[in-house]
Amino acid sequence: SEKAFVMIKPDGVRRGLIGEIVSRFEKKGLAVVKAELVQVSTATAEEHYGHLKSKPFFGELVDYMTSGPVFTMIVEGPAAVKNSRYLIGATDPAEAAPGTIRGDYGLDVSENVIHGSDSPGNASIEIARFFIR
């Protein structure tokens, strides 16, 4: 079965949402097979969001992602990438449906609680980036 990389961002950790968010993945039927509370380095944040380097918000994004610990997870199950993106909801919490993690816990696109990999190929790259160090 497929693996996805999921990361509760610093705002989600600060607000005490780890348990609630992990519970949603478990209730959906995705297994949390590895997890860690970790401080992301500037270099790793810049690499992870490298495709956004030209965006005006890139500096703020890196500062946000390194502002405190994140909770990284590998979740596994059928279509884990697609299913976790559905649980997470739209990038902008103001546009994310109620019932999704961003729809229920976020307000602003600049601090949107959680990351999920967007393809199985990127899931493998992100798992290597965050768990094979």
**Residues forming the site for ligand ATP (CB under 6 A):** 52, 57, 61, 91, 109-110, 112, 115-116, 118
Question: Considering 48, 61, 115, 116, which one is annotated as catalytic?
Answer: 115
- Output the smallest distance, CB 113 to ligand ATP, in A: 9
**How far is 131 from 21, CA to CA, in rounded Å?**
20
- Output the smallest distance, CB 99 to ligand ATP, in A: 17
DSSP string for 55-81: STTHHHHHHHHTSS-EEEEEEEETTHH
3-state secondary structure of 95: coil
Using the structure block, give the residue that is written with the tokens 């860690």.
36
85 is in an annotated binding site: yes
Task: Confirm if 36 and 90 have CB atoms less than 8 A apart.
Answer: no
Considering beta carbons, is residue 23 or 57 the nearer one to Mg ion? 57
28 is in an annotated binding site: no
Segment contacting Mg ion (CB under 5 A): 5-13, 80-88, 96-104, 115-123? 115-123
133 is in an annotated binding site: no
- Output the smallest distance, CB 5 to ligand ATP, in A: 10
- 48 part of the active site: no
Provide CB contacts within 8 A for 74, sequence distance 6+.
Answer: 3, 4, 5, 6, 32, 33, 34, 35, 127, 131
Instruction: Please identify every residue annotated as catalytic.
Output: 115
Residue numbers in the known binding site for ATP are: 9, 57, 85, 91, 102, 112
